[in-house]
Structure 1
Amino acid sequence: MDVVYRDARFSVNARMIAYDGPVHELFHMQTKAKPRVALHLLKLVDTANRRNITVKTSVQELHRQIYEKGLTPSITKLNKVKEVQVEGTALLTEKGGFATALTGRETAFLQMLLQGKRGEISISLPYPDSDGAEKTIQRRISFFVKGLSKKVKTSFVDGRFHFNVDMKLRVSISERIFPFDMDEDYKKMGTVLEKEIQSEYQDLLLKCQKLKIDPFGFGLHARAYEYDEWKKVQNEWTQAFSQAKVNIVTHVDIKGNGNIK
């Protein structure tokens, strides 16, 4: 990376990716129906980013993320089975080492918290069964996020940072593979989605806090609103974030349920 940053012939807009396998497989990849490898990978990453199943981190952006004390870096993760495909997002430590990987669905939640509504966001979640009976077909519901707004309230109480995130989502149901009266019980469906989204966020936050990484950028909020306390921990922010209290509350407003019943 030192060469990339020093040599002006390198493009600072080049995409940064983590590849799970021998790198020579990418360099010598032969594709009959696709353009040359460099263009194919570029299009692959950009398209996946527009669908919010991975991040898009350029060389310049990675440099900023590594030297920014308020968050930890994240880059695209690829793998290859029969063809090269986007696997999700690789989360890095503050020093640039590999920490863990996020699936495409987890990346969608990360993207919503990072930058709000950009591009297409499609999420599929399990729908809890009230009777708890075993079913051949798992009950799931899929939806598109049509709009999103969020507010983050930052405070420092009892020796640790507190972040209260209030998210409002406008969604449109795209698939429901179980019977449900949306005309009468759409508010109940909204409540179920709120609980499932909050549960997903809590699992993702706990995963990152255990690994002492902050891909969400909560350190930026700490610096902006609790600067005196931030100064004390700015060089050990990931340790401080691992002890922080993060509470995410979601409000789901269902705006669409398809064209036919």
Structure 2
Amino acid sequence: MKRRLFLCMLIASLLLLSGCWDRIEIQDRLLVMAVAIDKNQPDAEKKRNYYEFTAQLTEARALSSQQSSSNIAPVWNVTTTAPSIFESIRLLATRVARPPYFDHLQVIIIGEDVATDGIDDALDLFYRDHESRPKIKLVIAKGKAKDALKVQPKLLAVSGQYISKLTEEGETKTARQPRVTTIGQFASHYHGGLHCVLPAIHLHRHEVKMAGGAIMKHDKLAGWLSDSEVKALRWIKGTFNAGDEVIAKEGGDDQEKVMTFEVRGAKASVETGIRDGKPVIALRIRGEGSLAEDGFNHHPTLALWKKREEEFSRTIKKSVEKLIARMQKEQIDIFGFGEEMRRHQYPYWKKYKEEWDELFQRADVQVDVKIYIRRIGQFS
């Protein structure tokens, strides 16, 4: 009797369950894969700048390369113009018949004009919105950001996905671009009073090039780093874990020859001090890898091996010192030296932290580089 009563109550409780009343099938969702933010001023008399917001929309079937019809494009770049990012997103409803979902947003591309004025306001909604993830990648475009979404990559149907993968591949295969930066990491840097370098994207017709970096002084674009300068930055930060260094010089036959050092790992340490009221920073860089190419001698001796290590050490030290000198002249500490002063010289930092940009310009930075060649390859 009790068992029968329990079953009746269990069946009756099923009537109270609401079920998935608001369920939307994955094939019906309109996914936002990438966002581009540019500046637009429709009326010259208005002092307030308007955002030109471009969302790249796609469906799940496009990501799996399964198109329901050849007449349907895999992606749709929709642009709206409004004084705020929130209103720009709401205006998508006037052009798109289905609500966009930002859960799968992979990358935000900021145009050069917006970056020059400051990007924190443009990112504010993405910091706060529950659909946005703090791991969304952040990239600065050389020129218009929306043009990056117009490229037609050869192997991927969705350009936003292509750009997102480029940032990941570039970090693991080469050091010619900064490490991947997310909106969460940028927010921590900016609100912590630190400067940083963001990945830069250069536009071409059917592809984009991820190389070099955008120098961000607080949240404003202050200049650009070349890909070789980014390599020096990666040495300074100890994040040069994949890539190469090349030395080119004339050989015995008056033709230019090259040596290539394949980097397998790097470490950097910083020691700070105070001398005569000025910051003293001792930077120690250690790297190791393989001799990938040697255009001068195919049968190296131990003495020649050590000579190659010294040559690469001098070359890297020169590039590092050159970048530090440039940033000191521009008074932009992109290396985190100020943070090291805060950690290890706190009384001094507390007294002069508001003047750090000027103090950084006069800081005595000492660089010590040592490269170790672990392998030279096989010879018959």
| TM, length-normalised to structure 1 | 0.88
Aligned counterpart for 1:216 among listed residues 310, 316, 335: 335
State the AA in 2 paired with 1:209.
Q
Corresponding position of 2:181: 57
CA contact (8 A) 1:19 1:78 kept: yes
Describe the superposition over 1:108-141 as per-residue Cα deviations: whole angstroms up to 9, x where unpaired: 22123224454x13222334x599x9x4x43332
Cα displacement (A) at 1:196: 1.2
CA contact (8 A) 2:198 2:213 kept: yes
CA contact (8 A) 1:153 1:163 kept: yes
After superposition, residues 178-197 of structure 1 pair within 5 angstroms as 178-179=296-297, 182-183=300-301, 184-197=303-316
State the AA in 2 paired with 1:93.
K
The structure having more radius of gyration, on CA atoms, is: 2
State the AA in 2 paired with 1:238.
D
Instruction: Say whether residues 1:68 and 2:68 are aligned partners.
Output: no
Aligned equivalents of 2:251, 2:340: Cα separation in 1: 39
Q: CA RMSD in A?
A: 2.2
Aligned equivalents of 1:130, 1:34: Cα separation in 2: 43
CA contact (8 A) 2:263 2:289 kept: yes
Cα displacement (A) at 1:189: 1.7
Structure 1, unaligned runs of 5 or more: none
Q: Residue 188 and residue 20 in structure 1: after superposition, are their counterparts in 2 closer, same or farther (change >3 A)?
A: same
Q: Structure 1 vs Structure 2: percent identity of aligned residues?
A: 21
After superposition, residues 163-242 of structure 1 pair within 5 angstroms as 163-179=281-297, 182-183=300-301, 184-242=303-361
Cα displacement (A) at 1:29: 2.9
State the AA in 1 paired with 2:210.
V
CA contact (8 A) 2:251 2:296 kept: no
CA contact (8 A) 1:99 1:211 kept: no
Corresponding position of 1:88: 212
Aligned equivalents of 1:197, 1:29: Cα separation in 2: 35
CA contact (8 A) 2:141 2:201 kept: yes
After superposition, residues 62-141 of structure 1 pair within 5 angstroms as 62-69=186-193, 71-82=194-205, 83-94=207-218, 96-118=219-241, 120-127=242-249, 135=254, 137-141=255-259
**SS in structure 1 at match of 2:372:** strand
Describe the superposition over 1:187-213 as per-residue Cα deviations: whole angstroms up to 9, x where unpaired: 122222211111111101011111111
Corresponding position of 2:164: 42
Describe the superposition over 1:24-49 as per-residue Cα deviations: whole angstroms up to 9, x where unpaired: 21233333531312211110111112
**SS in structure 2 at match of 1:216:** coil
Corresponding position of 2:149: 27
| TM, length-normalised to structure 2 | 0.62
Cα displacement (A) at 1:181: 5.2
State the AA in 2 paired with 1:113.
I
Corresponding position of 1:14: 136
Corresponding position of 2:372: 253
State the AA in 1 paired with 2:190.
I
Q: Residue 185 and residue 43 in structure 1: after superposition, are their counterparts in 2 closer, same or farther (change >3 A)?
A: same
CA contact (8 A) 2:260 2:294 kept: yes
**SS in structure 1 at match of 2:245:** strand
State the AA in 1 paired with 2:245.
I
**SS in structure 2 at match of 1:90:** strand
Cα displacement (A) at 1:87: 2.4
**SS in structure 2 at match of 1:92:** strand
**SS in structure 2 at match of 1:175:** strand
Q: Residue 38 and residue 193 in structure 1: after superposition, are their counterparts in 2 closer, same or farther (change >3 A)?
A: same
Cα displacement (A) at 1:180: 6.6
Describe the superposition over 1:141-160 as per-residue Cα deviations: whole angstroms up to 9, x where unpaired: 21122233333221011121
Aligned equivalents of 1:228, 1:36: Cα separation in 2: 52
Aligned equivalents of 1:239, 1:35: Cα separation in 2: 48
Structure 2, unaligned runs of 5 or more: 1-122
Aligned equivalents of 2:155, 2:286: Cα separation in 1: 42
Aligned equivalents of 1:47, 1:122: Cα separation in 2: 15
Q: Which has the higher contact order (CA 8 A, sep 6+)?
A: 1
Aligned equivalents of 1:245, 1:125: Cα separation in 2: 28
Q: Residue 220 and residue 29 in structure 1: after superposition, are their counterparts in 2 closer, same or farther (change >3 A)?
A: same
**SS in structure 1 at match of 2:256:** coil
Cα displacement (A) at 1:79: 0.6
